[in-house]
Amino acid sequence: MYRGVRLKRYPFLALPLALVFAPALAATSAKAPPAEYAAYFAAVRKADAIADPLQRCLAYPDLPNNTWAPGIAKARCTMFLTPPRYTLDDIEKKLAQPNGAATLDADFSALLQAHYVDPAQREQISIAFQVFSNRDRDKAERIARAWLGAAPESPFARTALGHVLAGRGWAARGGKFARDTPAESLQKMNAYFVDAAKEYTNAMEASPKLLPACHGLMAIGRQSSNELQMYATKKCLEADPASYYVVEEMMTAAEPRWGGSDAAMQAVSAYAQAKVTTNPVLGLFAFNDEYYEIDRLDDSDAQAIAVLEPAAYKVPNAGFFRLVGGAYLRKNDTWKSLVYLSQALRFSPGYAQESRFRALALRRIGETKWARADAERAVALDPGNGLALQQLGDILREIEGPSAAAPYYKRAIADEKTQEDAYNSYCGVLLDAKQLDEAGKCIDDLLAAYPENPEGWRQRLYLIGFDAPGSKKAMERFIALNDPKRWSYHAADVKTVRLIKAGMDGTASPSEMFDARALRAKALERSVQGRPYFELLRSSKDNHLGKAIGACNSTLKAITNPQFEAVMDVQSDGRLKNVDVRPVNAWTSCVAKQVETTWKLPQPPKLIDSSTYPLIYEVRMK
């Protein structure tokens, strides 16, 4: 028996479709960690399977060989990752119930009391109010005003509204220095701050120990009034001299960007260290002056490793872990980067960039499935970040295939930083998924926006082959622009394109011509233009090839390895000419003669620059 028409793999066209855009990290088998980290990463993997952030944090292994104060990691997990008592929707539903405002006041009063008597519930009153700093400020303000309307004397309702108004003020100001902020923006900020300060002040008069109102007023004073800042700080320290959020605001005010200094930051750090027996989490403020400086360097990697890595062994500060992990990632020390990035995300799962970094590190060690959760979190936290979208697309492409990746690559096109690469990725998965019409539109858009993109011209050749309108230009542009440094496979591909072009131009050597013809035929077979004709031949009931082989049975006996490739040109009337075979022997020469003299195929499509239609057959006998 023989095998008829078969898709043979060739150097250029044989590249898997996934290589139409080559991911930055090819799939690799998972690597075992170094012996000193084996137990650590086994525990990290187990903890990462826990969905709840608090329980995951508590289950996580600590940094190997750390000298942290006993209990500080657990206290940090509990303080910052315990979910808020209520969501905004919960509060709105509660207000709609009979005596709902009174119930809310009672619950928030209990949280305030617990802050002072139950170490496990420290700062939960402040965390409960953070929902009113929600980005959906219209919703938050509506709910806060409904609460205040139902309970006009409630210090908790006033604090909620103060948070909303303060948030609007900070949003109006923006993140630039005051000298770079428009006067109109500063005026809006001041108007919101005045209203917020009234709410905070009224709340503090009704409940002097209501810390969220107090440190909210401290922050407004930091921006607007030294006198207000001093007053609020005094009141806060009277209420709780060991409150994390009070000390955090003191540290922020001590930063040089707010008029402070290194010495001022060191003084706050010393104050915090003196209070750690009361509140262990205050230990996190150690080394903050050094962190502040290093975090603002353009190239902080050397300093992060030299200064913050030793600090991270003393204090479980997520910021330290973040910078040290990123530094080791850029040094290609993947395992060390994972050690620190894992701790950063343990304590601060809201880090979008570090989620992306750890996903990258996990892919480097062949843990693509493990990386998926980090990549998904990075996109959820920063939905418009093209790098995060590209990364998740790469991971899904590897795990689930091109269709799963396509939406993320498409979204990444909207980010100017990743637009060009995202086009290549998106066009590539459309080709891979055989969505050829969409792929054609994608490649058109890519080359219109980036006419010097060599991979785009290669993708066009992949789509249209070498015999369509535009093929000649695509060949010339790819030959001129190919970039093996960026796409390693371009080095081999450009050689193949040059060979095909030489065959079409008639400049290929006799030894090269067979390969040139075979590659061109193969490209046409797979192209949008040539695929229908290929399918027509494959579905034909006319056993042309079987008859040709049968006619040459007498020459087959001497052949020990009966297989061959045949290239030929189909004329407009379906007759064959220029039939060449490889290898050449009595049997294959007989078959070639039969093909050329007896075959008549269906009329082929007309090509743009050729009066004949190239075709290839591969035969293997059993």
pLDDT score at 600: 94
What pLDDT digit, counting tens, does each position of 43-100 carry?
999 999 999 999 999 999 999 999 999 999 999 999 999 999 999 999 999 999 999 9
Lowest mean pLDDT among 8-17, 95-104, 413-422: 8-17
What pLDDT shows up at residue 381?
97
Per-residue pLDDT band at 173 (split at 50, 70, 90): confident
Domain 37-66+316-450 top-level CATH class: mainly alpha
Alpha-carbon gap, residue 513 to 29, rounded angstroms: 40
pLDDT of residue 76: 95
Cα–Cα distance, 92 to 131 (Å, whole number):
12
What's the N-to-C CA distance of the chain in angstroms?
6
- In degrees rounded to 5, what are phi and psi of residue 528? -55, -40
CA 448 to chain CA centroid, Å, is: 26
| CA pair distance 116, 451, nearest whole angstrom | 65
- pLDDT given at position 164: 97
Give the Cα separation of 372 and 394 in Å (integer): 10
CA-to-CA distance for 612 and 306, rounded, in angstroms? 69
**Token pair of 157, please?**
């309702």
DSSP 565: E
- Encode pLDDT of 422-475 as tens digits: 999 999 999 999 999 999 999 999 999 999 999 999 999 999 999 999 999 999
Domain 542-621 class? alpha beta
Q: Could you give the strand order of the β-sheet that contains 563-570, starting from the edge strand earlier in sequence?
A: 2-3, 613-621, 563-570, 576-582
Three-state SS annotation for 26-50:
CCCCCCCCCHHHHHHHHHHHHHHCC
Query: What secondary structure letter does DSSP report for 619?
Result: E
Distance between CA atoms of 159 and 213, rounded to whole angstroms?
Answer: 5
Please, what is the angle between helix 368-381 and helix 386-399, to 10°?
150
Residues forming beta bridges with residue 563, ordered by sequence position: 620
How do residues 324-342 score in pLDDT, each as one tens digit? 999 999 999 999 999 999 9
CA nearest neighbour of 357 among 390, 322, 382 = 322
| pLDDT tens digits for range 138-154 | 999 999 999 999 999 99
DSSP string computed for 326-374: HHHHHTT-HHHHHHHHHHHHHH-TT-HHHHHHHHHHHHHTT-HHHHHHH
Q: Which residue has the tokens 């010495």?
A: 263
Asked whether the beta carbons of 390 and 414 are under 8 A apart, the reply is no
Sequence ranges of the domains in the chain: 37-66+316-450, 542-621
Burial of residue 471 (CB within 10 Å: 0-12, 13-18, 19+) is buried
In one letter, which amino acid is 251?
M
Element (H, E) at 8: none
DSSP letter (8 states) at residue 195: H
Q: What is the DSSP string of 281-342?
A: GGGGGTTHHHHHHHHT-SS-HHHIIIIIHHHHTT---HHHHHHHHHHHHHTT-HHHHHHHHH
Instruction: Name the pTM for this structure.
Output: 0.87
- Residue 11 makes CB contacts below 8 A (sequence gap 6+) with 492, 495, 496, 519
241 cis-preceded (ω within 30 degrees of 0): no
AA identity, residue 98: P
Q: Per DSSP, what are the bridge partners of residue 617?
A: 566
